[in-house]
A and B are shown apart, each in its own frame.
Chain A
Amino acid sequence: MAGKIKKMIDHIIAKKSNNDSRLTSSLNAKMCLKGVIPKKYDASSPDDPVIIDKLQNIAAEWGVSLAGV
């Protein structure tokens, strides 16, 4: 399977930033500092369980629901 990481990243950042571009940029940086580099993933990226686990933790820390993603 592929593409789940990109979907999760986009969902988390969109929800947390309300699509405000300055917040999108700062949340992207916060995610990088937590060890997930958003620009490394696209729709064809394999569903690496280690990264998916990191993103689930980030979503929980940021209070973002991943339901339906």
Chain B
Amino acid sequence: MNIIKAKSNNKTAKGSVEEIKGIFGEFEPRMVLFFASSNYEPEDISAAMKAAFPGCDVIGCSTAGEIISGEMLKGSVVAMAFNSAVLNNVKIEVIEGISEAVDVSDAFRSFESFYGKKMDEMDFRQYLGMVLVDGLTCAEESLMENIGNKTNVFFVGGSAGDDLKFEATHVFVNGKSYNKAAVLALMDVKSGFDIIKTQSFKVLDKVLVATKVNESAREIIEFNNEPAAVAYANALGVPVDELSSHFMSNPLGLMIDDEPYVRSPQAVDGSNVKFYCSILEGMELSILESANIVEETANALQQKVEEFGKISGLVNFNCILRTLDLESTGQSKEYAEVFNDIPTAGFSTYGEQYLGHINQTATMIVFK
């Protein structure tokens, strides 16, 4: 085994990390990735994890629920360790102050210096980026656009959570804890990898055009030249005062190659509608209708298993709205069991990253 996972429900950071270290045993990690409930003090859990694995890079973030093969958890820590048969190398950088402005230039210069290659010349089949970002900064769009402008290497990840308290989220790097920050890990992957982006929606034949927006506030003022809430409710055929009860099951999708990049509504504010990610003026968005998350995830995974033969490890960045949907339909266990036979670690996110910032999606990194 070149990728292994562990979990702990111990209430203390020290106890959890000791348990995880015990499970990892003699395994020699090149990198340890961990996702911890916000119940743990961020400084304590980050410091304890690095102290337990001093010889390798240790990164992670706080969560709104943890995922491990066969289980969806709350109030716990999950971890995944990768050895040098999987990763030739990894370089970690922290970008701080992202709520003010995002600039990845210094981080990318560091990556270029470390690997001896320009970011725009790195082979996207060999190098893979992981991004963990404070989930309360609204900076993800800017971060992902900044990254995507400078490289063809795929950066995949999630926005940190805090168990739905919406107070503070944290990212962790080598013993330290940060907020208003993003962690970028650029991996030179030896064993092969791929990315799964899966969302479970039917695309309805109804389109809303964002005709007036407040982009930085992630707020739509008008759809189809009408007050946003009115146009959205009319398109769904429901009264405006019932609109928000349809948000989970009827988000919007920017259609790209027949696949939705989901934009999830958060709240009605007067006649405006606030979203969990930004929408540009002029964007045409299809109304979506929720489908079976378990079934679509299992299908996406099965396709990858058939392609790879065997998956040696999977990191799952699963939107908290999917987790809540699974809980409301009583399918959490069934969803977790989709990953029974694959070493899996992940968490319930406040947003997912793949090419851009998206919602109600699972982005997964799959290692061959």
Contacts and interface: CB of A to CB of B under 8 A. Distances in A.
22 contacts: A23-B124, A23-B152, A26-B355, A27-B152, A28-B256, A28-B257, A29-B261, A29-B355, A29-B356, A30-B355, A32-B256, A32-B261, A33-B254, A33-B256, A33-B355, A34-B280, A35-B280, A35-B281, A35-B282, A35-B283, A62-B149, A63-B120
A56 interface: no
A26 B152 contact: yes
Contacts of B124: 22-23
Interface of B: 120, 124, 145, 148-149, 152, 154, 254, 256-257, 261, 280-284, 355-356
B148 A30 contact: yes
Contacts of A28: 256-257
Contacts, number: 39
A58 to B, nearest CB: 9
B261 A33 contact: yes
A34 B357 CA distance: 12
A7 B176 CA distance: 49
B257 A25 contact: yes
Contacts of B284: 37
A62 B120 CA distance: 9
Nearest to B210: A35
Nearest to B283: A35
Contacts of A32: 254, 256, 261
Interface of A: 16-17, 22-23, 25-30, 32-35, 37, 61-63
B125 to A, nearest CB: 9
A17 B152 CA distance: 8
A22 B120 CA distance: 15
A41 B187 CA distance: 37
Given A16-B152, A32-B256, 11 more contacts: A17-B152, A23-B152, A25-B257, A26-B154, A29-B261, A30-B356, A33-B254, A33-B261, A34-B280, A35-B280, A61-B149
B356 to A, nearest CB: 4
Nearest to B278: A33
Contacts of A25: 257
Contacts of A62: 149
Nearest to A23: B152
Contact of A29 (B149, B152, B256, B280): B256
A2 to B, nearest CB: 20
Contacts of B356: 29-30, 33
Contacts of B282: 35
B361 to A, nearest CB: 13
Contact of B257 (A29, A30, A35, A63): A29
Contacts of B149: 61-62
Contacts of A16: 152
A16 B153 CA distance: 12
Contacts of B256: 28-29, 32-33
Contacts of A27: 152
Q: Which 8 A-B pairs have the closest CB atoms?
A: A33-B356, A61-B149, A35-B280, A32-B256, A29-B256, A29-B355, A30-B148, A23-B152
Contacts of A33: 145, 254, 256, 261, 355-356
A68 B343 CA distance: 51
Contacts of B120: 63
A15 B149 CA distance: 13
A44 B360 CA distance: 37
Nearest to B281: A35
Contacts of B152: 16-17, 23, 26-27
